[in-house]
Amino acid sequence: MELLIVGTLNGQIGAASKIAISKGGQVSLADSIETALDILRSGKTIELVMIDVTLDVHKFISSLTDARINVLVVACGVANDTSLAVKAIKAGAKEYIPLPPDPELIGAVLAAATRESHALIYGDKKTEAILKMAKQIAPSEASVLITGASGTGKEIFSRFIHDNSKRANQKFVAVNCAAIPEALLESELFGYEKGAFTGAVARRIGKFEEASGGTLLLDEISEMNIGLQAKLLRAIQEKEIDRLGGKTPVKVDTRIIATSNRNLEQCVQDGSFRQDLYYRLNVINLNIPALKDRPGDIIVLAKHFIKKYSELNELPMKDLSAGAEKMLLNYLWPGNVRELENTMHRAVLLSTGDEIDEASVMLQDASAHKSVEQKDENSAVGHTVAEVERKLILDTMASTSWNRSTAATLLGISIRTLRNKLKQYQEEGFEIPSHQE
């Protein structure tokens, strides 16, 4: 665990550092937000930041978001800093640790950060077979392509491979190729030198360098521009990258895992994905079945999520009723594990009895999964494909309160594709809310 302490911690830096080191952590210090950001931009492996609550936590976390740096942040302050503690949590800090630091509390935070969201829960024979193969190929240096529908848990399987590889003690870095605008993805992957373009006020280490020695996950790689694919292929083959504005190549030692919710062979045939890159990535292919095709996982995962969200919301743990279990098993789960997790989180909050029953399990209306031709009131006859597609997308967005991530999962398309469609509809004169998740 690599820990970065930002600020003076009211004179408690020494004590906090000593406790963190005794718990197996490595500690770096920064006296200001600017210094901390420089350390994080440099590519240094940092998994947890402890920031003095008297600093501008909101500015710090906003700067992390703008720079697309993913790191867990906790705020620290004296016990009577209650207003600042609340302000820090609202700004995005995950926890608040009162000072002077308590060894057990810091140990618990470090342990939680280490295992955060990496658990792989299963009960189906198909999942067991995939994990067996994943564990077998994990120690190799081969590139891995993980395919499957959105929400099936491809990133969790990626982390499983990393955790069982020879690189397990090195960094695991994930890049969502669909969530980053095309114009920024190159600098995100390869980094840039100061002055490389307007706004490049300091050198930024890219994800390839950051993951050197470890594993780089290229999530939804099918969304990458074909021009950038050529540069990616060279980086993988030559084991070196060029920072934007740089004068000399930089050597990297990075294992690649890529995921896609689309058929990459079809993308190759369509000309949207390079064949040579496909072969380079597809040394090992793991295909993750849809949740409906591995029913043995459904109840096991549901109970895991009930426990997770009961603890998170400080609510009593409840069992699933027989009727609720039947509902879950009979549902098709178009959003896969991600939809199941959201459903069980909602059920935990809505449940009022001694167990979680059918009334608490709110599933999508079954009619929402029928083809539009079956709905008399919304017949597709007489409409173009584009009109039917637009109605489906806008209806799905409305039903998810305009949450793009959830809507994209239900529609089975990438966030980038959904964003482009919404932009198109807005230009065509349709009313699209300006604030969306």
355-411 residue pLDDT tens = 999 999 988 754 334 333 344 444 566 677 777 888 889 888 877 778 787 788 778
Domain holding 403: CATH number?
1.10.10.60
What per-residue confidence (pLDDT) applies to 77? 85
List helix spans (H) across 218-321: 226-238, 264-270, 275-281, 298-312
Total domains in the chain come to 4
- Domain identity same for 281 and 227: yes
What per-residue confidence (pLDDT) applies to 59? 92
- Domain identity same for 104 and 152: no
Residues contacting residue 259 through CB under 8 Å, at least 6 positions apart: 145, 146, 147, 148, 154, 155, 158, 217, 218, 219, 220, 221
Length of the chain counted residue by residue = 437
| Token duo for residue 151 | 């929400």
Within-domain flag for 95: yes
What per-residue confidence (pLDDT) applies to 111? 60
- Domain identity same for 139 and 280: yes
What per-residue confidence (pLDDT) applies to 129? 93
Within-domain flag for 63: yes
What per-residue confidence (pLDDT) applies to 24? 61
Would you say 57 and 11 are in contact if contact means Cβ atoms under 8 Å apart?
A: no
- Domain identity same for 194 and 275: yes
Helix (H) or strand (E) holding 172: strand 172-176
Encode 119-128: b = buried (16+ Cβ within 10 Å), e = exposed. eebbbbeebe
Within-domain flag for 432: no
- Domain identity same for 271 and 317: no
What per-residue confidence (pLDDT) applies to 368? 36
What per-residue confidence (pLDDT) applies to 146? 97
What per-residue confidence (pLDDT) applies to 371? 37
Which residues, given as ranges, of the chain have pLDDT below 50? 117, 366-378
Domain holding 86: CATH number?
3.40.50.2300
Residue where a domain stops, chosen among 363, 389, 418: 363
- Domain identity same for 336 and 280: no
- Domain identity same for 132 and 281: yes
What per-residue confidence (pLDDT) applies to 436? 55
CA distance 378 to 306: 37
Within-domain flag for 355: yes
Domain extent at residue 68 = 2-115
Within-domain flag for 120: no
- Domain identity same for 97 and 139: no
Can you tell me whether residue 52 is helix, strand or coil? strand
CA distance 307 to 65: 30
